């Protein structure tokens, strides 16, 4: 039996200033003004993307005790930005990263339920645990917990928010003018949750939202992180975007689902991906080279090297050879607030690999860092990139991609105008949204009976006014959720891609979108 052609899921990541985005490029705009967020969101919606994604940065990252000028210099608050974007978009999903280590379930549940109402059912929550005590110093409550305890807190935090979301069934508001009765029951929203981390009870004050609960994303990559995703998430934001590495991750995480009574279509794998487009593959390759030179200045190359070496290397020439001294294998103290340093689990072995590569190819420090960090995922003409994306998805290396443009806010425009139509022609990407909610865009099955919103929502709590643009109103309409995912009547007629799919995992790559 032939495998059905999978539909590709696409999202746009607004990463902020860092060493993926190039703030020094003349085409770059503000990373904090609303017009930039609105531009990217409108482009993503015009292209029928599933959602816009925001990461969360809770503290300015440091290296050698200083803020690092090509790294993230700040991120505005996630809920504020997503709520504003809800007002200028109609269908695009709105995914926000919010950590479970320093927050409280009641507050986070209120915020996501509110966002889901304001957007007409488009909210998603990327549940992260955050990784270090340095980040936690900003918070005097919650503090820093060891890895296992952070995931345990994440698990019970998520359960507590589910208790809160489900404390409203959705049929409690009748707003009967004749009798003057607003609620069917005085105890609507009553909840109780008691465990080692939370001891809370009361009445939740946001009625059931259109999706019932936000779509749940997860991003951690450890054993604990993967188990957490397999047990509870609807999608994973991963860093495994190559064919081999992507397939391994995909098989690993989807293979963990049965023990939680879940099936592969209940968890989407969406790696971050960068792209460089050109009229021809050769043009794109040359452009990609220039982008890498912008992304990895001499100063940035030394900073990256220091993260592995765990030493001050500021005296080294980025255009010269790698240091003769070995990395300091102790606890990494030079870079603070970065997740990527945790990827260098064996710095001496990685340094040996880098030295061998540099010697073999006669690479300077900067050339080596360009080679081993943050390679672009898709490089080529629009046709090449469309084929590569579809091929990776059909090969179960992912279910789609969260695209990280290197220019803010216009970096997605060309992709929307050139690659998306080709994906649509191939029958692997939607030409119009199937429904109003993000859950529908992602092809996720409805929430289970006991947690799903009722088929009829009273208009009095509908999230949009009568004047609002159509159509996300669910009030008074029957649910149309159950729909098979990944099924397409249109066969994929494309031939297998031969270029631009990185075939091997390569060395650990700092995740500059974090
Ligand atoms: C692809 C990816 C993206 C992440 N994005 C964020 C983020 O935006 N904000 C954050 O605080 N943590 C982020 N994290 C960190 C995770 O929440 C987690 O704290 C960290 O990776 C440690 O967990 P792990 O050992 O399971 O990977 C991200 C992790 C990965 C792998």
Report which secondary-structure segment, H or E, holds 67: strand 66-67
> Which one of 340, 372, 404 terminates a domain?
372
> Which one of 326, 348, 372 terminates a domain?
372
Report which secondary-structure segment, H or E, holds 107: helix 105-119
Ligand 1: residue of 61, 82, 339 to mutate (most ligand atoms within 8 A of CB) is: 339
Q: How far apart are the CA of 63 and the centre of ligand 1, in A? A: 19
Q: Is the pLDDT of residue 443 over 60?
A: yes
- Interval 53-79 mean pLDDT: 83
pLDDT tens figures, 125-154: 999 998 777 888 888 666 678 888 999 999
Q: Is the residue at 466 inside a domain?
A: no
Residue 193 to residue 175: CA distance in whole angstroms: 29
Q: How far apart are the CA of 339 and the centre of ligand 1, in A? A: 7
CA distances from 112 to 3, 117, 119, 202, 398 (A): 37, 9, 10, 18, 27
Same domain, 328 and 266: no
| 470 confidence band (pLDDT: 50, 70, 90) | very low
pLDDT tens figures, 195-254: 999 999 999 999 999 999 999 999 988 999 999 999 999 999 999 999 999 999 999 999
| 340 confidence band (pLDDT: 50, 70, 90) | low
Atom of ligand 1 nearest to the CA of 271: 1
Q: Is 514 in the pocket of ligand 1 (CB under 6 A)?
A: yes
Exposure b/e, 285-313, CB count within 10 A at least 16 = b: bebbeebbebbbbeebbbbbbbbbbbbeb
* 8-state DSSP, 357: H
Task: Find the length of the chain.
Answer: 514
Residue nearest to atom 6 of ligand 1 (CA): 514
Question: Which structural domain, as residue segments, surrounds residue 116?
Answer: 9-278+378-461
Same domain, 349 and 420: no
Q: Is the residue at 274 inside a domain?
A: yes
> Which one of 415, 431, 461 terminates a domain?
461
Q: Is the residue at 477 inside a domain?
A: no
Same domain, 206 and 348: no
CA distances from 99 to 56, 123, 158, 398, 402 (A): 8, 16, 11, 24, 19
Q: Is 18 in the pocket of ligand 1 (CB under 6 A)?
A: no
pLDDT tens figures, 6-64: 999 999 999 888 878 888 889 999 989 999 999 999 999 999 999 999 999 888 888 88
Q: How many domains does the chain have?
A: 2
Strands 93-99 and 275-277: unpaired
Give residue 134's pLDDT.
82
Q: Is the pLDDT of residue 84 over 80?
A: yes
Of 352, 358, 363, 360, the closest CA to residue 308 belongs to: 352
Q: Is 78 in the pocket of ligand 1 (CB under 6 A)?
A: no
Residue nearest to atom 5 of ligand 1 (CA): 514
Same domain, 57 and 164: yes
Six-digit token string for 1: 């039996």
Q: Is 219 in the pocket of ligand 1 (CB under 6 A)?
A: yes
Residue 376 to residue 407: CA distance in whole angstroms: 14
| 471 confidence band (pLDDT: 50, 70, 90) | very low
Question: Are the CB atoms for 458 and 175 separated by under 8 Å?
Answer: yes
pLDDT cut 90: percent of the chain above it: 69
Same domain, 390 and 360: no
Same domain, 245 and 151: yes
Same domain, 225 and 105: yes
Atom of ligand 1 nearest to the CA of 99: 11
Residue carrying structure tokens 């003349």: 26
Q: How far apart are the CA of 239 and the centre of ligand 1, in A? A: 10
- Interval 407-413 mean pLDDT: 96
Q: Is 97 in the pocket of ligand 1 (CB under 6 A)?
A: yes
Of 511, 456, 452, 459, the closest CA to residue 478 belongs to: 456
Residue 7 to residue 440: CA distance in whole angstroms: 13
Q: Is the pLDDT of residue 460 over 60?
A: no
Q: Is 225 in the pocket of ligand 1 (CB under 6 A)?
A: yes
Same domain, 102 and 55: yes
Q: Is 417 in the pocket of ligand 1 (CB under 6 A)?
A: no
Q: Is the pLDDT of residue 477 over 70?
A: no
Q: Is the pLDDT of residue 156 over 50?
A: yes
Q: Is 302 in the pocket of ligand 1 (CB under 6 A)?
A: no
Same domain, 66 and 170: yes
Kindly tell me the burial class for residue 84, based on how many C-beta atoms sit within 10 Å of its own C-beta (0-12, 13-18, 19 or more): middle
Same domain, 117 and 228: yes
**What CATH number should be reported for the domain holding residue 55?**
3.20.20.30
Give residue 343's pLDDT.
64
Same domain, 227 and 331: no
- Interval 309-315 mean pLDDT: 94
**Residues near 362 by Cβ (< 8 Å), separated by ≥ 6?**
none
**Residues near 123 by Cβ (< 8 Å), separated by ≥ 6?**
82, 93, 94, 95, 96, 112, 115, 116, 209, 211, 214, 215, 438
Of 271, 276, 275, 274, the closest CA to residue 245 belongs to: 271
Reduced to 3 states (helix: H, G, I; strand: E, B; else coil), residue 431 is coil
Q: Is the pLDDT of residue 469 over 50?
A: no
- Whether the link from the prior residue into 409 is cis, omega within 30° of 0, is yes
Residue carrying structure tokens 């069934």: 169
> What count of other Cβ atoms lies within 10 Å of the Cβ of residue 77?
11
Give residue 61's pLDDT.
82
Q: Is the residue at 351 inside a domain?
A: yes
Question: Are the CB atoms for 514 and 254 separated by under 8 Å?
Answer: no
Q: How far apart are the CA of 257 and the centre of ligand 1, in A? A: 21
Question: Are the CB atoms for 400 and 9 separated by under 8 Å?
Answer: yes
Return mean pLDDT, the chain: 85
Six-digit token string for 475: 């009030």
Q: Is the residue at 257 inside a domain?
A: yes
**Residue 369 or 454, more confident:** 369
**Residue 98 or 453, more confident:** 98
Q: Is the residue at 500 inside a domain?
A: no
Q: Is 462 in the pocket of ligand 1 (CB under 6 A)?
A: no
Give residue 90's pLDDT.
98
Same domain, 186 and 260: yes
Rg (Cα) of the chain, in Å, rounded? 23
Residue carrying structure tokens 């995703």: 229
Q: How far apart are the CA of 347 and the centre of ligand 1, in A? A: 20
Six-digit token string for 75: 């991120």
Ligand 1: residue of 11, 129, 240, 377 to mutate (most ligand atoms within 8 A of CB) is: 129
**Residues near 471 by Cβ (< 8 Å), separated by ≥ 6?**
90, 436
- Interval 178-184 mean pLDDT: 95
Q: Is the residue at 348 inside a domain?
A: yes
- Whether the link from the prior residue into 471 is cis, omega within 30° of 0, is yes
Q: Is the residue at 508 inside a domain?
A: no
């Amino acid at each position: 039996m032939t495998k059905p052609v999978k539909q590709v899921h696409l999202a746009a990541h607004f990463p902020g200033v860092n060493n993926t985005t190039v703030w020094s490029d003349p085409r770059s705009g503000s990373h904090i003004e609303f017009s930039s967020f609105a531009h990217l969101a409108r482009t993503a919606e015009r292209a029928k993307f599933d959602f816009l994604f925001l990461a969360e940065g809770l503290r300015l990252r440091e290296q050698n005790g200083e803020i690092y000028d090509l790294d993230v210099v700040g991120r505005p608050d996630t809920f504020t930005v997503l709520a504003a974007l809800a007002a200028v978009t109609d269908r695009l999903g709105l995914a926000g990263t919010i950590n479970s280590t320093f927050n409280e379930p009641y507050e986070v549940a209120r915020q996501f339920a509110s966002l889901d109402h304001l957007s007409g059912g488009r909210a998603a929550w990327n549940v992260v645990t955050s990784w270090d005590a340095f980040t936690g110093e900003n918070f005097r409550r919650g503090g820093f917990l060891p890895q296992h305890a952070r995931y345990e807190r994440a698990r019970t935090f998520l359960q507590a928010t589910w208790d809160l979301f489900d404390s409203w069934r959705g049929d409690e508001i009748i707003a009967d003018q004749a009798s003057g009765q607003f609620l069917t029951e005085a105890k609507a929203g009553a909840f109780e949750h008691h465990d080692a981390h939370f001891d809370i009870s009361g009445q939740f004050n946001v009625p059931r939202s259109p999706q019932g609960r936000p779509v749940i994303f997860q991003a951690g990559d450890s054993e604990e992180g993967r188990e957490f995703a397999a047990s509870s998430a609807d999608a994973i934001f991963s860093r495994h975007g190559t064919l081999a590495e992507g397939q391994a991750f995909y098989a690993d995480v989807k293979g963990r689902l049965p023990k939680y009574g879940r099936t592969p279509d209940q968890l989407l794998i969406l790696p971050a991906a960068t792209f460089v487009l050109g009229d021809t593959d050769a043009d794109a390759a040359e452009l990609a080279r220039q982008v890498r030179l912008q992304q990895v200045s001499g100063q940035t190359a030394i900073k990256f090297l220091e993260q592995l070496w765990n030493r001050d290397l500021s005296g080294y020439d980025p255009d010269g050879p790698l240091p003769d001294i070995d990395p300091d294998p102790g606890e990494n103290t030079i870079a603070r607030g970065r997740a990527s340093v945790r990827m260098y689990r064996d710095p001496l072995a990685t340094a040996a690999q880098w030295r061998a590569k540099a010697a073999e190819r006669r690479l300077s420090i900067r050339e080596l860092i360009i080679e081993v960090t943050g390679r672009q995922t898709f490089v080529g003409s629009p046709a090449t990139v469309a084929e590569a994306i579809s091929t990776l998805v059909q090969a179960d290396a992912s279910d789609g991609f969260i695209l990280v443009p290197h220019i803010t806010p216009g970096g997605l425009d060309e992709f929307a105008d050139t690659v998306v139509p080709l994906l649509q022609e191939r029958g692997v990407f939607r030409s119009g949204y199937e429904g109003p909610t993000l859950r529908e865009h992602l092809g996720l099955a409805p929430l289970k009976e006991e947690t799903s919103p009722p088929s009829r929502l009273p208009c009095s709590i509908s999230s949009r006014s009568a004047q609002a643009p159509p159509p996300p109103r669910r009030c008074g309409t029957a649910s149309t959720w159950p729909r098979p995912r990944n099924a397409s009547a249109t066969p994929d007629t494309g031939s297998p891609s031969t270029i631009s799919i990185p075939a091997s995992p390569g060395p650990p790559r700092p995740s500059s979108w974090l």
